[in-house]
Chains A and B, each alone.
Chain A
Amino acid sequence: MSEVQTTSGSAGTPGSAGTSGHPRTSAVGTVIRSANTERAGALIGYLPVGFPNLEQSIDAAVALVENGVDVLELGLPYSDPVMDGPVIQKATQTALENGFRLRDAFTAVEAIRGRVDAPILLMTYYNPVVQYGIERFANDLVSAGGAGLITPDLTVDSGAEWITASDRTGLDRVFLTAPTSTDERLKLAIDNSRGFVYVVSTMGVTGARNDVDAAARTLVDRLRANGLETDGSSGACVGIGISTGDQVAEVLAYADGAIVGSALVRALADDGVAGVGRVAAALAAGTSR
């Protein structure tokens, strides 16, 4: 048993980011900053690796970038995705049934980076990383040209090993914040995130919603009040429920980035690579000033 958990599960063990001497510049942070300078903000697009198959998931990710997505969030299919709604569950289940393996994620990152320049974050539940080996996972992600991880079921207070590995390698780490997070926990996420802080817009799982909750605006305000700098290395990017260009524009009025997932996955499922490109372009229209 090599993975010995060293942290307590209770709150109150804040580490601070970037203390080990690796360069603080984050490609994701840089892209988000310039998107905020040149336009209303950044568009972050999610797609699962391996859906509908590995090759088309690579093509679809490339199509997102070619149609205005600034940062890619590639989801790793997992058997027990507790934060995901039905659209993403169905897609990742299909990917697993089609034989998705973890190593495919690195193949995909390398292939996409060979074709387009956008930084790529992997969104993954924790157990696959633990089983692959946290240090090995970090090394292979760096080798493939990946930017870092978004960890939906790993919080700062449980994430000491990942924080160590990402400090060693300089990978970005995006922690989530929710409307129910205390100020203390917001500070923990701000201090330890690199790339951006993920703002969970509403209490719920992933999936398109007609109204992106007013809770998102309040949460972004609270993040800024707790020290998140607009032009710092970590912006506030809002996800969950965003599915139209108008919603992107609405979110970018107060946040640094908008994250879209289920709407893209549905477009890919229904209309293939060309379809997902069209939806990405419509969403990207929301980033103009």
Chain B
Amino acid sequence: MTTHLRDEQGPFFGEFGGRFMPESLIAALDEISVAYEEAKSDPTFAAELAELHRTYTGRPSIITEAPRFGEYAGGARIILKREDLNHTGSHKINNVLGQALLARRIGKTRLIAETGAGQHGVATATAAALFGMKCVVYMGEVDTERQALNVARMRLLGAEVIPVTTGTRTLKDALNEAFRDWVSNVEDTHYLLGTVAGPHPFPVMVRDFHKIIGEEAREQVLDLTGALPDAVVACVGGGSNAIGIFHAFLDDPDVKLYGYEAAGDGVDTLRHAATITMGRPGVLHGSRSYMLQDADGQTLDSHSISAGLDYPGVGPEHAWLSSIGRATYLPITDAQAMSAFRLLCQTEGIIPAIESAHALAGALELGRELGPDATILVSLSGRGDKDVETAGRYFGVLDEQALTAATLEQNALDGNALDPNELTEGAIEVDELDRDAAHGLGTER
């Protein structure tokens, strides 16, 4: 294995990546490439971003040991990198502040963004407010319904949220609509793409703005344990938090890297978003990577309980890391993720984003494999405030008074309601949790 995996600068990572885009957008992509190269070598830019992270984002984000959670992971030492504690509640702010600074540098006054769960949209709306820029966020209509709270947050921050009603009405269609807006308004508008996908230079630039996650965590884990972790794990939709935490470890060959994709109802069904696990190479949204597609190259619908992972593509650097065997990508079902979600809530007092719960579920499985001597660093990419309603419904623990008859009926139909006794008891015993987690993971503890 080469010892310089961290040096990849695109536009291609092996055979993945590139810039498959309409000519109308090439000038804008070139403009960003040039401005980004200049900014990278400008100490003023780095200082400005570092100062914002210190005084606004809340960086460095802490690490938290999760020993009670670790008991369910074969006794492995679980360390959480707390991106959920960042301002706006997820890792997304790292990239957003970087790109917003860059947009201001090249004289753009309007930011547009796509969003799935709404975390990236909220972060972009936040940066627009901070910098006095206009902001339009495209969000699949399906996602505006399941993430209504984040829609309200964006509007409170002064952004216009446009529900996308074309195609499958989810994240991929929000990207399409953002590209269409950008083609029409490229003069004053920066498309603040929220993940490590898309045409060059986005995969490289977004990665660079997120690699601070792994750089901090690598030092923090060394300080805490005196050694590098045995494994680093993260959830993967487009893959921005994963590449952010992986990057600092790419050239540490003894550190295993695991990306957990959303398997939805299971990869043996048609309802999943496990792009690397089940997809094949193709061109989507400007780059060549793995994608979910039919024989004709039409993009397939993806499914995940987590809006942020519900995307049929994945960043090209992940496709490359998978193809060379440096990182391993595995599927986690909705049920596995939700069990891990509840387990973290009740063992550590931390409500994770459902996206991040996929990484937690992966850590449970991996810890049982590696045993009690292992140290596993988990990217806790976001907090679960936005998911309280989804999770409350899933587990049937929303206040009974607040539940409409229709909702109760829906829960019963979906088979998501737990034993009614739990509603009255108000808490779920950990023993029961353990059974659920073990069942969900298909592993006996």
Contacts and interface: CB of A to CB of B under 8 A. Distances in A.
A158 interface: yes
Contact of A81 (B19, B20, B176, B286): B176
B22 A153 contact: yes
Interface string A174-214: 01111011100100010000000000100111000000000
Contacts of B295: 131
Interface in A39-87: 78-83, 85-86
Nearest to B283: A127
A10 B282 contact: no
B28 interface: yes
Nearest to B27: A180
A102 B20 CA distance: 20
A189 B24 CA distance: 13
Interface string B250-291: 000000000000000000000000000000011111101000
A8 interface: yes
A178 B30 contact: no
A131 B185 CA distance: 32
Nearest to A200: B24
A interface secondary structure, majority? loop
Contacts of A79: 167, 298-299
B180 interface: yes
Contact of A203 (B18, B30, B184): B184
Contacts of B22: 82-83, 152-153, 176, 178
B200 interface: yes
Contact of B17 (A9, A152, A189): A9
Interface residues on A, range: 35 or more
A1 B290 CA distance: 11
Contacts of B180: 82-83, 85, 205
B23 A205 contact: no
Given A9-B12, A127-B293, A158-B18, A204 B183 contact: yes
Nearest to A101: B296
B283 A130 contact: yes
Contacts of A102: 296-297
A119 B281 CA distance: 33
Given A9-B19, A130-B297, A80 B24 contact: no
A184 B297 CA distance: 32
Nearest to A8: B11
Given A101-B296, A203-B24, 10 more contacts: A3-B15, A79-B298, A82-B179, A82-B183, A83-B22, A127-B283, A131-B296, A157-B19, A177-B23, A180-B28
Interface of B: 10-12, 15, 17-24, 26-28, 30, 33, 166-167, 172-173, 176, 179-180, 183-187, 199-200, 281-286, 288, 293, 295-299
Interface of A: 1, 3-5, 8-11, 78-83, 85-86, 89, 93, 96, 101-102, 126-132, 152-155, 157-158, 175-178, 180-182, 185, 189, 200, 203-205
9 contacts: A10-B200, A79-B167, A82-B180, A83-B22, A83-B180, A127-B282, A155-B19, A157-B19, A180-B186
